[in-house]
């Protein structure tokens, strides 16, 4: 077993390779430029793990939320690598990752949120066996009531940005290790590496046609 995790969504360029001999990582915080650094980092981490690309048995990539360019860079690279080495590619939403990190033994529900700009947040919720709320975008003022509805009396923990103004929120970022762990419990055919965007693009087709209408 040898899997690689790629994340270029969260103002970061990050790579993890997990083999039977351990984990090998490289991570650099960056607003842009992931397209120039990603291939170099992948080559470096594979070398540290002492494996070739052909030995990879699974490709895992973060599919959002994040900037349009950042998401596309990681997804496109992962799909290309998967074709080259004939390995399955799995997409993991970073909101699921945050929710998983929030799901500790002291809480029945984990919630992950992220500031996606324009005064909006994206969030999701899980318990130990299922997704209670798929990733969705909403106004921060609506989140407390929505959380109460989803929790239905159960205790919950929230990790992510503090834009929603909830005292229980603890600031944290998705970890490569959690992404890797999640990927072992899901199947490629039901979690394709399709970009997840918090809102439709502003661009319109000629004539003002909205491709999302």
**Distance in angstroms (rounded) separating the CA atoms of residues 6 and 154:** 34
- Evaluate whether residue 44 is within a structural domain: yes
CATH number for 84:
3.30.420.40
Please, which pLDDT band fits residue 25 given cuts at 50, 70 and 90?
Answer: very high
Instruction: Record the pTM.
Output: 0.90
**Distance in angstroms (rounded) separating the CA atoms of residues 147 and 150:** 5
- Evaluate whether residue 28 is within a structural domain: yes
Q: What range does the domain containing 61 cover?
A: 2-93+174-190
Residues 148 and 80 in one domain: no
Residues 45 and 55 in one domain: yes
- Evaluate whether residue 60 is within a structural domain: yes
The candidate with the shortest Cα–Cα distance to 6, out of 52, 68, 58, 49, is 58
CATH number for 125:
3.30.420
**Distance in angstroms (rounded) separating the CA atoms of residues 55 and 51:** 6
Radius of gyration for the alpha carbons in the chain, expressed in angstroms and rounded:
18
- Evaluate whether residue 128 is within a structural domain: yes
CA distances from 189 to 128, 169, 186, 194 (A): 22, 33, 9, 11
pLDDT in tens, 5-14: 999 998 899 9
Mean pLDDT across the stretch 3-29?
96
pLDDT in tens, 142-191: 998 999 999 999 999 999 876 666 655 677 889 999 999 999 888 776 77
CA distances from 197 to 65, 93, 117, 192 (A): 6, 10, 12, 14
């Amino acid at each position: 077993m040898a899997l690689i995790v790629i994340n270029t969504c969260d103002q970061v360029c990050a790579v993890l390779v997990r083999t039977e001999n351990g984990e090998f990582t490289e991570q650099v915080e960056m607003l842009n430029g992931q397209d120039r650094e990603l291939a170099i980092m992948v080559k470096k981490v594979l070398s540290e793990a002492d494996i070739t690309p052909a030995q990879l048995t699974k490709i895992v990539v973060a599919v959002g939320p994040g900037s349009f360019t950042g998401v596309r860079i990681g997804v496109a690279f992962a799909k290309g690598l998967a074709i080259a080495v004939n390995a399955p590619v799995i997409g993991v939403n970073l909101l699921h990752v945050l929710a998983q990190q929030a799901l500790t033994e002291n809480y029945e529900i984990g919630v992950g949120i992220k500031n996606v700009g324009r005064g909006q947040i994206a969030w999701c919720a899980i318990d130990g066996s299922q997704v209670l709320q798929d990733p969705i975008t909403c106004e921060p003022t609506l989140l407390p009531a929505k959380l109460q509805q989803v929790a239905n009396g159960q205790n919950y923990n929230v990790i992510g940005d503090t834009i929603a103004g909830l005292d229980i929120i603890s600031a944290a970022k998705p970890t490569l290790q959690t992404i890797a762990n999640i990927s072992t419990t899901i199947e490629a055919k039901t979690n394709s590496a399709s970009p997840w965007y918090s809102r439709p693009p502003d661009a319109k087709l000629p004539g003002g046609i909205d491709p999302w209408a």
